[in-house]
Amino acid sequence: MANPPACPGFKFAGILAGIKATQRPDLALLVAEADVPAAAVFTQNRVRAAPVELSEKRVASGLARAIIINSGNANACTGPRGVEDAQAMGHYAAKAIGCDEKRVLVASTGVIGQPLPIERIVEATPRLVAAARADGLEDFTRAIMTTDRFEKRALALVPLGPKTRARVVGVAKGAGMIAPNMATTLVFVTTDAAVSKSFLRKALQEEVEVFNQISVDGDTSTNDSLFLMASGAAKNKPIEGGDKGLAFRQALREVLADLGRQIVRDGEGATHVVTIEVLGAVSAADADRVARRIGASPLVKTAIFGADPNWGRILAAIGNAGVEIVPSKIDVAIGEIEICRGGMGVGGQAEHAAHEVMRRGEYIIRVHLHGGRGEGRHVTCDLTVDYVKLNADYRS
């Protein structure tokens, strides 16, 4: 008996094509039954991989049929050949599917600067398309992974009627080169809800902000892409806004937030996940800047690794965020323990209690600036010895 479809209207596949030296699955496909509404957002790094440039042009139509993805090679900084290889990936996928190649999007992830072994991909593509199944999401997820320690999937439901629920299914890969700026890794989201092209694009562009509130190491990659496709298999009237639009956006937000936390939890070498909440800023934008600056500080991140409640590093990071503050008004708490009040330390007993909080796998650092009503948040992880080791010999 076949397993239920991961997301009605879509098929998924993941196979081994010989791109990775590890001999693990490295070629993936997401394909719809017909051309469907599609939207995407891409890295803001100005060094951009060939598949990013290609997919950005093609998704501008608001329609797509499939996405073909390889892992183990980023096809970035590869010159004219990289452009030709990205086009070839889309061309041969379209040929095997039987669709217009302009409706096939392309994504790659892996080592930068090395030519793509395109011959292996072309040879494996008919087998990839033949392997696509409605219940093939697990194979797909494994094939897009690089340094990931575990698979990342998320699901939320959209109420469309008394007995009707549409699915929003997200899959992501990423553990390093993660910084907020959409950008952040490769993400593939599908829904069986019928959604208009314009609303799908608007919802993604706005809800992606929740996904931008994460970081692992402060680096925005050359290949980061987030794709969203809607099959319409739920047979609802296409969502264009209103209550159904709010429900869809809520589900999309839940999926992106869930995937974001999973990525931080899988941060290369990470041992702690920390949510930084900033209150009392002049504006929400200022609060976000402060939260991001704390989360990006190597000194704060190493203190998190060592469970050291070094509130001075947090205040120094706040002072470097480029926003108006009054240092003598700043309060800092780690979990339920206040360690800094009015810009000064509370004392050794509080720091000892905060140290015990920081030994947990997850906790909150809460900062109050007492300067306004702006609030912001950011999710980050520690910077560990294992992170340095892994990235020191990533290409070896």
- CA-to-CA distance for 133 and 248, rounded, in angstroms? 25
Catalytic residue among 125, 184, 191, 222: 184
Q: Is the Cβ–Cβ distance between 140 and 29 less than 8 Å?
A: yes
- Tokens 């892409």 locate to 225
* Cβ-based neighbours of 174, under 8 Å, separated by 6 or more: 148, 152, 184, 185, 186, 216, 263, 266
Q: Is the Cβ–Cβ distance between 84 and 51 less than 8 Å?
A: no
**If you count them, how many residues does the chain have?**
396
CA angle, residues 318, 324, 326, in degrees to nearest 5: 75
Strands 186-191 and 63-73 come out as unpaired
Q: What is the DSSP letter of 329?
A: G
220 a catalytic residue: no
Q: Is the Cβ–Cβ distance between 1 and 123 less than 8 Å?
A: no
- CA-to-CA distance for 338 and 367, rounded, in angstroms? 10
Q: Which residues are catalytic?
A: 184
